[in-house]
Structure 1
Amino acid sequence: MNPPLRIVFMGTPLFALPSLQVLLDSPDSVVSVVCRTDSVQGRGRKCCPPPVKTLAEQAGIPVLQPESIRNDEFLASIQALQPDLMVVIAYGKILPGRLLRLPRFGTINVHGSLLPKYRGAAPIQRALINGESETGVTIMQMDEGIDTGDILLPARLPISEDDTGATLSSKLAQLGSEALREAIVRLKEGRLPASKQDDTQASYAPMLDKELGHLNWNRPARELHCLIRGLDPWPSAYGFIDGRRFRFFQPQVVPGEVQELPGTLCRADRNGVVVATAQDYLLIREIQPEGKKRMCVQACICGMQLPIGQQFS
């Protein structure tokens, strides 16, 4: 029987939690968790710990939250733990090579795409925005590049018509944890071969920004449908009528020959709002008026009158 591994886990957000839980439940030993520093959140400006920190402390695992991971002091603290393996999931910073190479088995990563497609910071959202029908996770041997390391174990997942950034992230987090469990079993048994990525097939998934969500209604409904879902919950898609911003969620393409100018608000009822686009119509079932909470359209029209016939900018 293979002896348990000493593992250092590096991760920060909710996406990393299922994988950390898998390691905590395994016969291996998580000797430390490294995550980003606590952040100030919400209107109350409360200082909140990262989700990974909360789970680690509940399990009694020592937590490190260094301001920098590139100094000798941090490297020495990891070296003193004598890790066999380091597991990194959405840590949020690029790791230096001397840290990656420190453990006996190096450092592996759970990435939210089928590499070499969608290297970078927002692979899950970009897959949705680009209208992909399939995505997945890749267990990768990390190197100093941005998601360029050797592929160890891929796992595929179909994308549904109703998936959003939030739902797909949750599915891939769970899939990633299962793939990580399998990868570590294979690693200890010496049957986890690495394969080079084909750089000619690589694509990139840059970070999202708020301007990406300002909808251009001169695009087909299908493209807007993918964009709205990919930006849900953050930064979200939006448009303006009479200077007031409305955020859009839960879209559905409604086929039909468009008679109105793109962006025209054609109908608003309990089923949603219907907006004209360059090709087909877009039914939006949830909306968030500026200064209000996200709500179904039926609740929105009970409290305010939407200007039918006007155009979203």
Structure 2
Amino acid sequence: MTAPLRILFMGTPDFACPSLQALLHGPDTVIAAICQPDRRKGRGRKLAPPPVKAQALEAGLTVLQPESVRTPEFLAQVRELAPDLIVVVAYGKILPKALLEAAPLGAINVHGSLLPRYRGAAPIQWAVLNGDRETGVTIMQLDEGMDTGDILRTATLAISPEDTAGSIFTRLAELGGPTLVETIQELKAGRITPQPQDHSQASMAPMLTKEQGHIDWSRPAEEVHATIRGLDPWPSAYGFLGGKRFRFFSPQLVAKPAAEPPGTVARADGQGLLIATGTDYLQLAEIQPEGKKRMSVQACLCGTPIQAGDLFS
């Protein structure tokens, strides 16, 4: 019987938590967790631990939070832990060669796309923004590049017209855990042949900005539909009416050529807002008026007058 591996886990946000949980319940031993330092959040700007830290401490793991992973002191700490394998899931920084080579089996990563498509910080959002019908997770061997290492295993996931970046985020995170554990067992058994990526097919998924959420209603309905879903929950898609910002959620395509100028409200009632685009209409079930919480359009209309003929910029 193969001895359990000593695994050093590196991850920071919610996306990494299901993978850590799967490892904790798997046949190998997680010896410590490394995550980004606590950051100030919210209106009170209080220090808050990253999700992986909270999960690791609850499991009784040692947690390290270096400001830099490139110092000799940190590398010495890792070598002292003597890991057989380093597992990285959304840690947040590119790792130096010395760290990647600090474990005999190297370092492997759980990435939220089907590589080489969508390398970078926001692969899940860009898959939805671009109207893809499928995405997945890739388990890869880490190298010094950004998501350029050899592929060990992939698992696919369908994207429905109702999916948002948030819903795909959750489903991919859950898919990553068992896929990671299966990959490690195959590695231990010597049954995986790493496959180099076809770099000619690579595409990038850069970090999103708030400005990307400003809707251009003259675009085709399918593109606006994908924008609203791909930016939900952050930074969210928005438009302006009467000088106030409104954020939009839960869109549905209405296949009927728009008769009004793009951005015009064709109907506002309990069913939602029907808004003209450059081609057809979108019906929006949820909205967030400036300074208020996200709510149903029906609830919004009780206190915010939006009516047919209004034009969102």
TM-score range, shorter chain: over 0.9
Match for residue 23 of structure 2?
Answer: 23
Residues 126-176 of structure 1, C-alpha deviations (whole Å, 9 max, x = no match): 000000000100000000000000000011111111111111001001111
Match for residue 2 of structure 1?
Answer: 2
**Quick one: percent identity of the two aligned structures?**
61
**C-alpha separation in 2, matches of 1:297 and 1:44:** 30
Contact 2:268 2:307 in 1 (8 A): no
The AA in structure 2 aligned to 1:265 is V
Q: Specify the SS of the correspondent of 2:7.
A: strand
Which runs of no fewer than 5 residues in structure 2 stay unpaired? Answer: none
Match for residue 269 of structure 1?
Answer: 269
> Normalising by the residue count of structure 2, what TM-score does the alignment of the two structures yield?
0.99
Superposed, 1:70-219 pairs within 5 Å as: 70-219=70-219
1:45 deviates by: 2.0
**C-alpha separation in 2, matches of 1:261 and 1:133:** 30
**C-alpha separation in 2, matches of 1:29 and 1:45:** 36
Match for residue 258 of structure 1?
Answer: 258
The AA in structure 1 aligned to 2:227 is L
**C-alpha separation in 2, matches of 1:266 and 1:39:** 44
1:27 deviates by: 2.1
Q: Specify the SS of the correspondent of 2:248.
A: strand
> Normalising by the residue count of structure 1, what TM-score does the alignment of the two structures yield?
0.99
**C-alpha separation in 2, matches of 1:271 and 1:41:** 36
**C-alpha separation in 2, matches of 1:9 and 1:279:** 48
1:308 deviates by: 2.8
**C-alpha separation in 1, matches of 2:44 and 2:250:** 29
1:307 deviates by: 4.1
**C-alpha separation in 1, matches of 2:226 and 2:66:** 37
1:44 deviates by: 2.4
The AA in structure 1 aligned to 2:12 is T
Deviates more, 1:43-52 or 1:98-107: 43-52
1:102 deviates by: 1.1
Q: Specify the SS of the correspondent of 2:154.
A: strand
Q: Specify the SS of the correspondent of 1:144.
A: coil
**C-alpha separation in 2, matches of 1:229 and 1:178:** 27
**C-alpha separation in 2, matches of 1:46 and 1:273:** 38
**C-alpha separation in 1, matches of 2:247 and 2:88:** 34
**C-alpha separation in 2, matches of 1:290 and 1:301:** 14
Match for residue 308 of structure 1?
Answer: 308
Contact 2:267 2:307 in 1 (8 A): no
Contact 2:271 2:285 in 1 (8 A): yes
Matched, 1:40 2:40: yes
1:46 deviates by: 2.2
The AA in structure 2 aligned to 1:25 is H
The AA in structure 2 aligned to 1:291 is G
Match for residue 61 of structure 2?
Answer: 61
**C-alpha separation in 2, matches of 1:10 and 1:268:** 48
Deviates more, 1:40-49 or 1:142-151: 40-49
1:55 deviates by: 0.6
**C-alpha separation in 2, matches of 1:21 and 1:91:** 16
Match for residue 230 of structure 2?
Answer: 230
Which runs of no fewer than 5 residues in structure 1 stay unpaired? Answer: none
Match for residue 14 of structure 1?
Answer: 14
**C-alpha separation in 2, matches of 1:212 and 1:129:** 11
Q: Aligned pairs, how many?
A: 313
**C-alpha separation in 2, matches of 1:257 and 1:126:** 27
Superposed, 1:241-252 pairs within 5 Å as: 241-252=241-252
The AA in structure 2 aligned to 1:303 is G
